[in-house]
């Protein structure tokens, strides 16, 4: 926890009550949670983001994406045997949930403290990791190297 507190402010990292673990669906570890932490991090990128509303043909340029809120519950057996439980609560990132959880779980291994690694990944590598496979869902890199995010608004 001290390493997180040294790099994050109170908005980016907050210790929550254990009851927050109740938000996790069907997990038998809920009653064995020792800490619940809410990370609120903005993924960094040196690229611009362009939101494209397809039906309305509207283009909006952003300098950054919205903050990603991730609730991390640490079981009593963490880090020796229990990996952190993860819950992303930001709607914007729903299409990325599976990849996000997979990448974060890859960083965990027994006896490894991973919260610092999670923060570094979310802030520094998340966008590039998602784009590694080329066009992903509604994300693509244009010819100028900017990231285009297409969506369909209600007309």
Indicate whether 96 pLDDT > 60: yes
pLDDT at site 36: 87
Nearest residue to 40 via CA among 57, 75, 16: 16
Indicate whether 1 pLDDT > 70: no
**Please, are residues 1 and 16 in contact by the beta-carbon 8 Å criterion?**
no
Task: Please report which residue ranges of 80-150 form alpha helices under DSSP H.
Answer: 97-107, 115-120, 126-131
Indicate whether 155 pLDDT > 90: no
Distance CA 72, CA 9 (A): 17
The domain over range 2-40+67-140 is classified in CATH as 1.20.5: no
Mean pLDDT, the chain, integer: 81
**Please, are residues 118 and 18 in contact by the beta-carbon 8 Å criterion?**
no
Residues 6+ apart with CB under 8 A from 145: 47
Q: Which residue ranges make up each domain of the chain? A: 2-40+67-140
Indicate whether 45 pLDDT > 90: no
pTM: 0.77
Indicate whether 52 pLDDT > 70: yes
Indicate whether 114 pLDDT > 90: no
In the predicted model, what is the mean pLDDT of residues 48-67? Answer: 90
Side by side, which strands form the sheet with 85-88? 13-16, 33-41, 68-75, 85-88
pLDDT at site 41: 92
pLDDT at site 21: 62
CB neighbour class for 106 (10 Å; exposed up to 12, middle 13-18, buried from 19)? exposed
Q: Are strands 33-41 and 147-151 parallel, antiparallel or unpaired?
A: unpaired
Q: Pick the range with the lowest mean pLDDT from 24-33, 35-44, 105-114.
A: 24-33
pLDDT at site 118: 86
In the predicted model, what is the mean pLDDT of residues 81-90? Answer: 85
Give 114 or 29, the one with higher predicted confidence. 114
């Amino acid at each position: 926890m001290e390493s997180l507190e040294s790099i994050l402010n109170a908005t980016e990292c907050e210790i929550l009550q254990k009851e927050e673990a109740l938000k996790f669906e069907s997990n038998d570890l809920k009653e064995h949670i020792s800490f619940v932490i809410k990370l609120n991090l903005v993924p960094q990128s040196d690229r611009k983001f362009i939101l494209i509303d397809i039906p309305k043909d509207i283009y909006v340029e952003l300098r950054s994406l919205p903050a990603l809120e991730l609730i991390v519950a640490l079981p009593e057996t963490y880090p020796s045997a229990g990996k952190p439980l993860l819950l992303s609560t930001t709607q914007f990132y729903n299409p990325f949930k599976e990849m996000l959880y997979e990448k974060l779980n890859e960083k965990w291994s027994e006896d490894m403290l991973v919260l610092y690694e999670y923060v570094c990944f979310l802030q520094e590598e998340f966008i590039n990791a998602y784009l590694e496979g080329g066009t992903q869902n509604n994300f693509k890199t244009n010819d100028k190297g900017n990231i285009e995010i297409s969506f369909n608004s209600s007309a």
